[in-house]
Amino acid sequence: MNTSRRGLLLTAALFAIGIIGFGCNSQVKVSDLNIQDLDYASLAGLAANPKIIKKMGPVVFVDVRNAQAYSQGHIPGAINITVPRIVGLDPRLAKARTIVLYGEGWKDYLVPVAWKKMTALGYEGLYTFRGGVKEWTKQGRALEPGPRVDGESQGGEDG
């Protein structure tokens, strides 16, 4: 085997190892273990402390439930983005330094799914309020009724 052929084979082997070894790690890895949950007490503590709010920057609450549930009542000031409609660089989230995702209650599987999707898209400062609207109202807090979100269906996962 001549030197140039050995060099070509060595280069091809190193290239293949690079693809196998490093190509698998090119995407952001997300896991349930990385989700940052806030319970109601933590959420209320944040809201009551101006120093923490200033440090956290603009906070946006995102209701991941369907449009019909959102319009029937959501945390005041929250916006509605269902999981299928989560995209990178959403202009409604452009100024947010902290994003709090919530759904119906503790067992709402859409909240961790939304967190994982947003993390994979590069969003930072993500938290989940896993008690959702059930915990919010259980603590005596009011929900804000809202208009139906344009473009949202009222059936299936999205509505």
- The pLDDT value given to residue 5: 54
Segment (H or E) for 8 = helix 3-23
Runs of H (alpha helix) within 24-131? 40-48, 50-56, 67-72, 110-120
Domain 32-138 sits in CATH at 3.40.250.10
- pLDDT band at residue 6, thresholds of 50, 70 and 90? low
Among 33-37, 67-71, 124-128, the minimum mean pLDDT is found in 33-37
Q: Where are the domains of the chain?
A: 1-27, 32-138
Rounded to the nearest 5 degrees, what angle is found at the Cα of 110, between the Cα atoms of 106 and 111?
A: 60
- The pLDDT value given to residue 33: 81
- pLDDT band at residue 21, thresholds of 50, 70 and 90? very low
Higher pLDDT, 30 or 16: 30
Over the stretch 89-141, which tens digit does the pLDDT of each residue have? Answer: 999 999 999 999 999 999 899 999 999 999 999 999 999 998 999 999 999 99
Asked if 93 and 65 touch (Cβ cutoff 8 Å), the reply is no
Quote the CA–CA distance of 42 and 52 in Å, as a whole number. 11
- The pLDDT value given to residue 4: 54
- pLDDT band at residue 31, thresholds of 50, 70 and 90? confident
With CA atoms as reference, report the closest residue to 75 among 131, 123, 116: 131
With CA atoms as reference, report the closest residue to 127 among 54, 50, 56, 29: 56
What's the predicted TM-score (pTM) here? 0.73
Hunting for tokens 């503590």 — which residue is that?
45
